[in-house]
A and B are shown apart, each in its own frame.
Chain A
Amino acid sequence: MTIMQKFLGASAAIALSAGAALADPAIIFDLGGKFDKSFNEAAYNGATRWAEETGNSFAEVELQSDAQREQALRRFAEAGSNPIVMAGFAFGNALGEVAGDYPDTSFVIIDMVVDAPNVRSVVFNEHEGSYLVGYMAAQTSKTNTVGFIGGMDIPLIRKFACGYAQGAKAANPDTTVISNMTGTTGAAWNDPVKGGELTRAQISQGADVVYAAAGGTGIGVLQTAADEGILSIGVDSNQNYLHPGKVLTSMQKRVDNAVYNAMMDGPGLETGLLVMGLGNDGVGYTLDEHNEALISDEMKATVDAVAEKIVAGEIEVHDYMSDETCPSLTF
């Protein structure tokens, strides 16, 4: 086993020379890259917030290939990183295979459920948050037409769209919901030009509020909506500041909180399923100085009442993922 020893020695030397202290947490970003102004960036912000508050450092890597998922997990676990946080449902399979081999390491996976004793699975009720912003969109719309622009056509985005449509129709049954997906490849997450074109197409069909759940593509949606004088709704991070007074609100998904909490809890964190919904500030709409003029007190009161009803279970928001159908919208 001399080769193995050499390899272990080499990797230990590498780990030390790179300055990664042991027992630091690690975070793995998905193929989209960490500065996507959306999901990954929210995760990165959570980790940075933790580092700034505690003065500690964390290891990180941005993946380039699907084959690197397991590789990154194993290498960080062997180097002693703990806990290891991964942002994205695509890690599900890799983590399922790796988790058992490192029982003393805690893993946190976001947007996916992996059933293992040392894994915390964080999932968000995006449909609930989308319901709220859909409700607000329909209340605001003067044309009774609201738009939805998704990124890549995958079930997760349909979940956003379905909640949004249900919320819009709950606020005003006469509302027409127009839904478009940007594309069918990963490039659809980062195509602001096409996002802008889809927005123009929806405007010509009468939409005066559009909701973008499309990663980097959403930047183009928000820009075009602001240019054309209609309102838009941001996603994942609070995007109200991008076009003050032109963004109705943002459906915030607190991925940053999930990462921050995981790193705060440290090694040996509580594992199991953690659902972040309206009840525990996992999702919600945003209200700040950039959009307060757009949202009247009356509207805020109505929406907050709706949110309470959802939390109390009086309003049931349909989850597309539960049966892969959507009563309020056809795709």
Chain B
Amino acid sequence: MEQLPKWADLVVVPLVGLIMAFVLSMLMVLVTGHDPIQALKLMVSGALGSTYGWGYTLYYATNFIFTGLAVAVAFHASLFNIGGEGQAAIGGLGVALVCLFIPWPHWTIALLAASASAAVFGALWALIPAYLQAKRGSHIVITTIMFNFIAASLLNYVLVNQLRPRGSMDPATAKFPEATHLPSLGDMLGAVGIPFAKGTPANVSLFVALAACVFVYYLIWRTRLGYQLRAFGKSQPAAVYAGINPVKITIITMMISGALAGLMAINNVMGEAERLILGSVEGAGFIGIAVALMGRSHPIGILFAALLFGALYQGGAELGLWTSIPRELVIVIQALVILFTGALDNMVRLMVAKVLIRPKRAEA
């Protein structure tokens, strides 16, 4: 098969997949007896039609950028980290401990410390599966997914028995002190004169996520470690022959991946909930896999894929609020997008290739 031009691979293929997913979704909405055009309008305008919608879309997108990057870094080394869920949950614990027990004078310092703590906690949670993979050959897919359950149980224990304020029914920590509250995007843009809906959860963590994108780009394509990591991912025996230590690369890659997943906690735990609740990650660790697949494991692709999934989440919420379309159907729509842009990617690519490459041959 001839190679698709790069622009087609990066833009046309995901776009065609997306359109197919939406057409199918709208058919499903029609079958269940709702108006698909109105549903689509509501989803798009609800997610992107107002600064209020953007406030939520960007909040969800921030989560997905972190977890998407986490999965992507591991992908480059041919490691499949599906433990983002657990690493982000443990990252949340790191954020909570730092915010609750250290009196911070200002949010900027608290954010730095919480980021560091979230990253360290996430990285340590990824370290154990990484060690088992590198030294014992236990498959990383199995160990990371099992560590998700261990993380959930650990958090449950810590929240119910240790961090929960006495007499509270909710398995959650107390509210973090005022000084650790991060400014929301509304506050920040309002301060420079741009009107942006207040009371939306998007916050300063978005900029940390963007910085993480830049960091990952430089790490993968501009550093010696990144080169080793990619070489290891392409061919392990060749990498070993070239003098790359497979144990070291596996462990370092997984720790970076875990740190990125853990960093997500500054957005959802510190920025939005301002306390650690049970189940705070809400599947973002798994969505990160779809985001990384769709974004071709490239930071820019991940940025756009995360925005798309953020918009789907917020658009889905608007559907739930204003129509009687059941919540399950909203999940179906999200799943179809994942199916077409992630899993059926090759099918779409073949179709696009037929259309784009054949006319050229005819000319020749």
| A contacts, CB < 8 Å to B | 1, 3-4, 6-7, 10-11, 14-15, 17-18, 20, 33, 61-68, 70-72, 74-76, 89-90, 92-93, 111-112, 152-156, 184-186, 321-322, 324
Name the one of A17, A62, A92, A322 contacting B327, with C-beta atoms under 8 angstroms: A62
Complex contact B280–A89 (CB within 8 A):
no
Complex contact B197–A7 (CB within 8 A):
yes
6 smallest A-B Cβ distances: which pairs?
Answer: A184-B156, A7-B50, A18-B322, A62-B327, A89-B169, A185-B152
Complex contact B321–A61 (CB within 8 A):
yes
Complex contact A10–B50 (CB within 8 A):
yes
Complex contact B170–A92 (CB within 8 A):
yes
**Measured between alpha carbons, how far is A185 from B89 in the docked complex, in Å?**
12
**Which B residues from 134 to 162 make CB contacts under 8 A with A?**
149, 152-153, 156-157, 160
**Can you list, as one digit per residue, whether each of B251-280 has a CB less than 8 Å from chain A (1) or not (0)?**
000000000000000001000110101111
Complex contact A153–B321 (CB within 8 A):
no
Q: Do A186 and B170 contact each other (CB < 8 Å), given the known contacts A62-B320, A64-B320?
A: no
CB of A29 to closest CB in B, whole Å: 9
Q: Is B313 an interface residue (CB 8 A)?
A: yes
Cβ–Cβ < 8 Å partners of A90 in chain B: 170, 277
CB of A87 to closest CB in B, whole Å: 14
Complex contact B272–A67 (CB within 8 A):
yes
Q: Do A64 and B156 contact each other (CB < 8 Å), given the known contacts A155-B169, A321-B167?
A: no
**Measured between alpha carbons, how far is A33 from B172 in the docked complex, in Å?**
21
Q: Is B282 an interface residue (CB 8 A)?
A: yes
Q: Do A321 and B317 contact each other (CB < 8 Å), given the known contacts A7-B52, A185-B152?
A: no
Complex contact A93–B59 (CB within 8 A):
no
Complex contact B320–A185 (CB within 8 A):
no
Complex contact A184–B152 (CB within 8 A):
yes
**Measured between alpha carbons, how far is A185 from B278 in the docked complex, in Å?**
8
Beyond A64-B313, A185-B153, 19 additional pairs, beta carbon < 8 A: A1-B195, A7-B49, A7-B52, A61-B320, A65-B313, A67-B272, A67-B273, A70-B199, A71-B56, A72-B317, A72-B321, A92-B169, A93-B273, A111-B169, A154-B169, A155-B160, A155-B171, A324-B166, A324-B167
CB of A41 to closest CB in B, whole Å: 14
- 30 interchain pairs, CB-CB under 8 A: A1-B195, A3-B51, A7-B49, A10-B50, A14-B45, A18-B323, A61-B320, A62-B320, A64-B282, A64-B317, A64-B330, A66-B273, A67-B201, A67-B273, A68-B317, A70-B199, A72-B317, A72-B321, A89-B169, A93-B170, A93-B273, A112-B170, A152-B156, A153-B160, A155-B160, A184-B152, A185-B149, A185-B156, A185-B279, A324-B167
CB of B282 to closest CB in A, whole Å: 5
Complex contact A65–B317 (CB within 8 A):
yes
CB of B192 to closest CB in A, whole Å: 15
Complex contact A6–B38 (CB within 8 A):
no
Complex contact A153–B156 (CB within 8 A):
yes
Cβ–Cβ < 8 Å partners of A3 in chain B: 50-51, 195
Cβ–Cβ < 8 Å partners of B313 in chain A: 64-65
**Contacts across chains A and B counted by CB atoms under 8 Å:** 112
Cβ–Cβ < 8 Å partners of A186 in chain B: 278-279
CB of B56 to closest CB in A, whole Å: 7
Which chain B residue shows the least CB distance to A20?
Answer: B322
State the main secondary structure of chain B at its contact with A: helix
Complex contact B169–A67 (CB within 8 A):
no
Q: Do A64 and B322 contact each other (CB < 8 Å), given the known contacts A6-B50, A184-B157, A324-B166?
A: no
Q: Is B316 an interface residue (CB 8 A)?
A: yes
**Measured between alpha carbons, how far is A92 from B156 in the docked complex, in Å?**
19
Complex contact A67–B320 (CB within 8 A):
no
Cβ–Cβ < 8 Å partners of B331 in chain A: 64
Q: Is B296 an interface residue (CB 8 A)?
A: no
Cβ–Cβ < 8 Å partners of B322 in chain A: 14-15, 18, 20
**Measured between alpha carbons, how far is A139 from B277 in the docked complex, in Å?**
40
**Measured between alpha carbons, how far is A321 from B171 in the docked complex, in Å?**
12
CB of B296 to closest CB in A, whole Å: 27
Q: Is B175 an interface residue (CB 8 A)?
A: yes
**Measured between alpha carbons, how far is A155 from B161 in the docked complex, in Å?**
9
Cβ–Cβ < 8 Å partners of B282 in chain A: 64-66
CB of A55 to closest CB in B, whole Å: 18
Q: Is B210 an interface residue (CB 8 A)?
A: no
Cβ–Cβ < 8 Å partners of A10 in chain B: 45, 49-50
**Measured between alpha carbons, how far is A328 from B273 in the docked complex, in Å?**
36
Q: Is B42 an interface residue (CB 8 A)?
A: yes
**Measured between alpha carbons, how far is A90 from B59 in the docked complex, in Å?**
20
Which chain A residue shows the least CB distance to B195?
Answer: A3
CB of B265 to closest CB in A, whole Å: 13
